[in-house]
Structures are given as C-alpha cells and as structure tokens.
C-alpha cells in the first residue's frame, strides 16, 4: 500500500484508544553535518520507513 497518495486523515482513523494507552520510548540522536552528507542513502531509507 502506498500511503504517500492518501490524505493525512487515514492515519488518525486507525488510532484506537488502546494505542493511546501504550507507553513509548523515543530515542533522538543528532548527527553532524558531515555524518548527514556521508550517509545520504541511509537517510533516504529511514525516511522511506515512515510511509
């Protein structure tokens, strides 16, 4: 399924109350500009996982 062409509302319709009760851990890491430039393919792949 290609979500890129769907309206944003579809995501919110799938969120059920039990989803909101689940705890989540978010890990954020900052990269240097050089790391970003050296690993552009990895960045594209990771952003592709969002959809």
Going residue by residue through the chain, which has 51 residues, state the pLDDT in tens, using 9 for 90 and above. 445 555 566 667 788 889 889 998 999 989 999 998 999 998 888 888 765
Residues ≥6 apart with Cβ < 8 Å to 11 = 3
Q: How many domains does the chain have?
A: 1
Q: What angle do CA 44, 48, 34 make, to 5 degrees?
A: 25
pLDDT at res. 5: 58
pLDDT at res. 4: 58
Domain that holds residue 12: 3-50
């Amino acid at each position: 399924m290609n979500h890129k062409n769907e309206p944003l509302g579809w995501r919110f319709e799938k969120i059920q109350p039990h989803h909101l009760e689940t705890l989540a851990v978010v890990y954020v890491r900052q990269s240097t500009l050089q790391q970003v430039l050296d690993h552009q393919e990895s960045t594209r792949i990771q952003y592709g996982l969002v959809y």
